[in-house]
Structure 1
Amino acid sequence: MKATMTLIPLAVSLLMAGSAMAKVSAAEAEKLGKELTCVGAEKAGTKDGVPEFTGKWLGTPPGVQYTPHVGQHPVDPYASEKPVLTITAENQAQYASKLSDGQKALFAKFPKTFRMEVYPGHRDFRYPDSVCEVAKKNALNAEISDGGLGIAGASIGAIPFPIPKTGQEALMNNMFPNRAFNEDKTTDFANVLSDGAISWGRQRNTNLGMVGLPSEVGKPLEGTMAYSKTATLLPEREKGGVTVSSEPINFAKGKRLAWSYDPGTRRVRQVPEYGFDQPLGGSGGKMTIDSDRLFNGSPERYNWKLLGKREMYIPANAYKLHGKNVKYADLLKPGVPNADFIRWELHRVWAVEGTLKDGYRHLYGKRVLFLDEDNGMAVMSDMYDARGSLWQYALLNYYYAFDTSAWQAGTAFYFDLNSGGYIAYNLFQERPTGPILNKGNLNPSMYTPEAARNAGN
């Protein structure tokens, strides 16, 4: 299935890999905070329904009862709203220019059960002033370096390229957004087979984002990006396994390192290679390690092209989905999740295409990422196999976390368009607490091989 797009015209300057990408001019940077938001999104709405950016709320909105940093489930400030449009298999042709190939494929495969409930659009949340200051500084100084594997001249605290000119720049925004610097969460994931049967997994993740630490804001973007620890709680046969990993900022100067504790042998070993298209444990092959957050890790295996900006229906303001009263039995249905819980809105996104380089191996021969212009993060992805056939479609439901004054990755769905099954990933609706964000209790000493051994015992 070939990708078809109606793109908003964009002049894209592509330079040879290995050379630095041009910075924006001072005149362009002056648009930030004026006709553009401080992170580069267009403030204006559109006649078709993209909402105007208001940025009226920073942190918890007025009238919302919320206690930060304790894992309270998200509270929906739009709970009283109703859908204004329902897109179905019968009428989806009317909205084809605003749908991805993956969405169209779901309509074709599940014409009776897949539908999109479209709600009034909102762009009401903003970043703190400190993020805006760094974003403008990055616009003037940041450059792609080391053949697309690093960034020079950028500072910690905001996306490096508020006005992206190339696919590599847009991709780096997805990898280095402003988000939680501490994350402690216990989540479930469900491998939902085509007949509705479910295999369950559960993990506890503690993540330390070095590029989000308040003490590092404004400093050069270099060194370690993040540390992560994953402890397996389910299934029972894998319970007790622990993996710790570290991620570099520049993949030309470092690589992702990981150590794994095996409860059977009670030993820790370094994982020879961690990332790329290795299957994510418990996903039944429906997820790769580098498809978490739709793309992560080294970008080295793909040529990245900026296709342009377009209006699309994307999951947005996903508070309803993550409410503490949502039950898995109500949400997880055969084929596709219950459409009543997914909120779609019309937004502008950057479309970025990654095509596998000659001589490199990966399960995905091509992947197209759709990045929300308001935060630079990938919210949807179409993934193609080595023959160029559409294989998977994934969507990630973000919500603005009041604890962090930034967008938080919530539950994601990864659809295998061949088998008809899907993965529901990062579920915490039935957990006693949601993600505990920015509590400030994590440090690098918690991510050593010895720490993995101690966590497994």
Structure 2
Amino acid sequence: MKSTRILQTGALALTLLASSVMAAVSEQEAAQLGTSLTPLGAEMAGNADGSIPAWTGGLATDAGAVDGKGFLADPFASEQPLFTITAANAAQYQDKLSPGQLAMLQRYADYKIPVYPTHRTAAVPDAIYAAAKKSALNTTTIDGGNGLQNFGDSRYYAFPIPKTGVEVIWNHITRYRGGNVQRLIAQATPQTNGSFSIVKFADEVAVPSDMPDIDPAKSANVLLYFKQRVTAPSRLAGNVLLVHETIDQVKEPRLAWIYNAGQRRVRRAPQVAYDGPGTAADGMRTADNFDLFSGAPDRYDWKLIGKKEVYIPYNAYKLDSPSLTYDDVLRAGHINQDLTRYELHRVWEVEATLKSGERHIYAKRHMYFDEDTWQLALVDHYDGRGQLWRVAEGHAQNYYNHKTPGYTLEALYDLTAGRYLALGMKNEEKNAYRFGFKASAADFTPAALRNSGVR
């Protein structure tokens, strides 16, 4: 009986410990949001030497002109690099570079990292700041971190004051993307000699809170709806992907369907998850490489390493210019680094290690999240032998006219193959992002795919 009581006491203690670990933050901690911390949980103050300034609210909505196609003027067009990092001087800056960045500098003689003054441009609407604070007070993880509890009322930034690595990845997954958004984008996977073909997509993202005809019961576990139509080349045009991105993907896996225009058939697509192949990506990315990381976190253990200062792609307005062609952007081995901009920012560093018994082509992922947006900036991918394999960079900008952080371009470099994938380019498209379109639940059903895929 004595041993039974000891076991019961131990079990109770473990239960209480687990509850405390998984609990939302206190009122006192949440009070830091908007005071010592930004409303999204970043450090409000700058760093000691002033190379990272204090956050003062981000860019104003009128920070620059917006052209007739929706492209934004570069608020920092007159600035020149403070210095440029190359293979020759990389050792001088290695404490502020990721292993992947150092590997790129060694792999390509013409690869460089132009470093500009840091501007903390991130801003989202006040309603999203309020949602983040509500999340901080209420949201907890469940199922070992694979799902969220008490998140339905807020829907954004699940853990603005994170305690664990999995909470940081949830902030990236649940970050604000501008509500309902339409975009026309291009993708390329250049050969080693630099030659490429363009694949074009028409994407739509819709969130339940901005869909008045949505059934709350059916969307309770849905984070967003995503539809992607291939518009070029002609051999792929008309194929459509539909995804219902769930919050707890262990309880209810991501729902995906594909309409094949050639067969005129709609089929379930369970391969659109984890390390399933990316759409028309020539084997250069996995399904969960989209958005630098997307999908369920359940196959990895997430270790929170902490904060550090890193040179990351930021304020990529030059790279997004409609005066550029895709020939200007794409080069052999990597994108045109003369068009890029890197700044010193604080990042959250997280290491994801594949769980025992789970399968994925990436055995480890080393991740760096921008503290101001929770958006992934850099990811180093390792294979099963522990070798650095692929390096991802998210060239970010703040769409200041709509107070929405996002990517200008996602690049995924394969160090072994000497090739890469560039996704999200829109320089040659007829318009930039369109925010706030009216989304109907009926448009995001399998039955609606056939109409979406008409060539």
1:126 aligns with 2:123: yes
Structure 1 stretches (4+) deviating beyond 3 angstroms? 15-20, 211-216
1:452 aligns with 2:449: yes
Post-superposition offset of 1:380: 1.1
Contact 1:71/1:436 (<8 A) preserved: no
What whole-Å deviation, never above 9, does each CA across 1:124-171 have from its counterpart, x for those lacking one? 443332222222222222211122111112342531111111011101
Q: Which residue of 1 aligns with 2:264?
A: 266
- Residue 238 of structure 1 aligns to a residue in which SS? coil
Q: Which residue of 2 aligns with 1:29?
A: 30
Q: Which residue of 1 aligns with 2:7?
A: none
Moved more, 307-316 or 185-194: 185-194
What whole-Å deviation, never above 9, does each CA across 1:269-311 have from its counterpart, x for those lacking one? 1124421101112222111110111110111111111111110
Contact 1:181/1:210 (<8 A) preserved: no
- TM alignment of 1:177-196, pairs within 5 A: 177-196=175-194
What whole-Å deviation, never above 9, does each CA across 1:93-150 have from its counterpart, x for those lacking one? 011111011100001111x211111111001443332222222222222211122111
1:114 aligns with 2:115: no
Q: Which residue of 2 aligns with 1:44?
A: 45
- Residue 237 of structure 1 aligns to a residue in which SS? coil
Once the two structures are aligned, what percentage of the paired residues are identical? 38
Q: Which residue of 2 aligns with 1:66?
A: 66
1:304 aligns with 2:302: yes
Contact 2:213/2:441 (<8 A) preserved: no
Find the aligned partners of 1:213 and 1:132 in 2 and give their Cα distance: 21
Change in 2 beyond 3 A, CA 1:356/1:190: same
TM-score (norm 1): 0.90
Q: Which residue of 2 aligns with 1:441?
A: 438
Contact 2:113/2:342 (<8 A) preserved: yes
Contact 2:136/2:159 (<8 A) preserved: yes
Post-superposition offset of 1:253: 2.8
Post-superposition offset of 1:235: 2.8
- TM alignment of 1:32-181, pairs within 5 A: 32-46=33-47, 47=49, 49-55=51-57, 57-61=59-63, 64-66=64-66, 71-110=69-108, 112-154=109-151, 155-181=153-179
Contact 1:190/1:199 (<8 A) preserved: yes
- Residue 329 of structure 1 aligns to a residue in which SS? helix
Larger radius of gyration, structure 1 or 2? 2
- TM alignment of 1:212-291, pairs within 5 A: 222-291=220-289
Find the aligned partners of 1:16 and 1:328 in 2 and give their Cα distance: 54
Find the aligned partners of 1:419 and 1:17 in 2 and give their Cα distance: 44
Q: Which residue of 2 aligns with 1:420?
A: 418
Residue 335 of structure 1, aligned match among 333, 352, 366: 333
Residue 350 of structure 2, aligned match among 342, 349, 352: 352
Change in 2 beyond 3 A, CA 1:186/1:17: farther
Residue 402 of structure 1, aligned match among 400, 403, 410: 400
Contact 2:239/2:260 (<8 A) preserved: yes
Change in 2 beyond 3 A, CA 1:228/1:16: farther
Unaligned runs of 5+ in 2: 1-15
Indicate the RMSD between aligned Cα atoms, in angstroms: 2.3
Change in 2 beyond 3 A, CA 1:188/1:57: closer
- Residue 100 of structure 2 aligns to a residue in which SS? helix
Amino acid of the structure 2 residue aligned with 1:243: L
Q: Which residue of 2 aligns with 1:8?
A: none
Find the aligned partners of 1:43 and 1:320 in 2 and give their Cα distance: 27
Contact 1:54/1:125 (<8 A) preserved: no
What whole-Å deviation, never above 9, does each CA across 1:335-391 have from its counterpart, x for those lacking one? 121111111000000011111111111110011111100011111100011111100
- Count of residues in Structure 1 that have an aligned counterpart in Structure 2: 434
- Residue 189 of structure 2 aligns to a residue in which SS? strand
TM-score (norm 2): 0.90
Q: Which residue of 2 aligns with 1:12?
A: none
Q: Which residue of 1 aligns with 2:6?
A: none
